[in-house]
Structure 1
């Protein structure tokens, strides 16, 4: 079991690729970058393979943008400290990518589990939420509101790598937008769903102004 976990952590078996949403994000970000990065992001036809190789190794965020990600969140064995267990288990939480859905990602996981003669059970599975349309009036209106309320900020598409309740609204709209109008620093980002989770009071006030503008000016 530990050998299985070790192989998963060291080799990262899931396929990296630049999805249409990530492509739009990179190309949009190019305008805000200095020359070397701008050159790379604006020419994905040439530098795409380099990015898919380097980014997963450079940053967990880069890995999440390009492939299915996973985390071992639970483990168990003996119920007492002085008894060797008859069996042990780990729970692996997957976040399927757009290009390697839940079924395909689970096949990769099962293949490695079979290699170590481990039993494999799927507790729950669903594919990644659908991406919002970038050519619709909904996205255009959101960008307009960002420009009005945050004139010093740029707006561009972004792949939401965490799970949200937005998936519950996909039956109502094919353009569900995930956006939070709160400026955050590195410490606040790292503290999300963790110890000392916080946002600044001035940023909270500004976000209220954004929502008021968004609601009042929507036609």
Structure 2
């Protein structure tokens, strides 16, 4: 069986996470774990393996030393799908196209079974060759990253209890992309040195209720809609956080004048640069401000009934330097309506910032260039989404977020959406990245 065949088999097993735990199918996760044992026999024969918590997996591969171990992270679960929106069934793992254009269409192809299976392929092959890594290698595969991250939390707590201090932690994150910054024509490996915090705020508007034929002047649904629109029209202020300043400074030598001087002087030009980045598109806008968007709505129990309670769940992603408390104050000012209740349902603050210099960063950057192309420029940046790695920042200062795949704009847009896919050749090259990183000294 080829690596691609194994990958497709694992993609066909639905391991879907839901916020409502009663909707999760534990049999899917059990089948996935059983398939891992069957498909990667050397990994399961020679590495120490533990099931942590409700289904997270922790492997340890003893190396020449236990000092400064390498931790490679990924997660088993995927987000739900709307089947009718997909051109190819989301759990069939169809290969579409030929040669360099061949791509696997499946939920989880990128997020995050692509990384999980590539890591296992690299480890299995190295074991078959009799290799011993220069330092201990831990594989940490959470089972609920897309919802609560309890698996990764449990693994991090276990490593802390065992006094394990990683020299480098690598989780999912940025990819190799093009056209990420004005003037930068070379492909960029976007390595997250920090990630934004995340919080869910619940907005609630109430009224007496009654029949929809006699609505009041300001029904709860209208009050709620107005609050949501006020959040949209009053965005968080733009700001150049230190990792974004580092992104521009690191990119400066790779762009022509006058952008080279502009990027090199990012601090002094922050007021102009932040406005430009905010206007370039959703990704660059998210680099320079905390964002907020309503994602779920709830109202009346019937179509001809006034809602006594209307609710909206607002997803907030916190830029480095912001906080959940500051975000709540901003939302209250933006909504400016005491009759709309605001409550924090859950959240985690922005992560600490890992260094974009030093041994761990250099080892990662060298591996990128050696395996993904000499023309690739490793760049530090703020990871826009949350990942399981945020639970590991208390163990080490060297936590990075990068997935070794070249992804187009449309492929990145398919994450958490329809038609998620990854190029077969792209995925196979990613295996080489993990192999090289494991052996790097």
The answer to whether TM tops 0.5 is: yes
Distance (whole Å) between structure 1 residues aligned to residue 325 and residue 267 of structure 2:
29
Asked if 1:191 corresponds to 2:414, the answer is yes
1:163 is paired with a residue of what secondary structure?
coil
Supply the distance in 2 between the matched residues of 1:86 and 1:45 (Cα, whole angstroms). 50
* Distance of 1:87 and 1:57 partners within structure 2: 36
Q: Cα distance, 1:197 vs. partner?
A: 0.6
CA contact (8 A) 1:17 1:99 kept: no
How far apart, CA to CA, are the structure 2 residues paired with 1:64 and 1:133? 21
Structure possessing the higher radius of gyration over alpha carbons: 2
Q: Point out where structure 2 has 5 or more consecutive residues left out of the alignment.
A: 1-223
Q: Determine if contact 1:113/1:119 at 8 Å carries over to the other structure.
A: no
Correspondence for 1:135: 357
Q: Is the 8 A contact 2:321 2:350 kept in 1?
A: no
2:284 and 2:438 map into 1 onto residues whose CA distance is 33
Pick aligned residue for 1:160 from 371, 383, 389: 383
2:429 corresponding residue in structure 1: 206
In structure 2, C-alpha distance between the alignment counterparts of 1:40 and 1:209, rounded to whole Å: 36
1:73-107 CA deviation, whole Å, 9 max, x = no partner?
Answer: 11111111111112211110111111222211111
- Correspondence for 2:312: 90
Q: 1:101 aligns with which of 308, 317, 323?
A: 323
**1:173 maps to which residue?**
396
- Provide structure 1 residue ranges, at least 5 long, that are not aligned to the other structure: none
Partners in 2 of 1:151 and 1:58 — Cα distance?
Answer: 28
String of CA shifts for 1:113-167, please: whole Å, max 9, x gaps. Answer: 4535211111012211222112331111111111211212111112111110101
**How many residues were matched structurally?**
217
More strand by share: 2
Secondary structure of 1:107's counterpart equals helix
**How does the TM-score come out when normalised to structure 2?**
0.47
Cα RMSD (Å) of the superposition? 1.5
- The answer to whether the 8 Å contact 1:181/1:210 transfers is yes
TM-score, with length taken from structure 1: 0.93
Offset from partner CA, 1:182-219 (integer Å, 9 cap, x none) = 011111111112101111000111000110011012x3
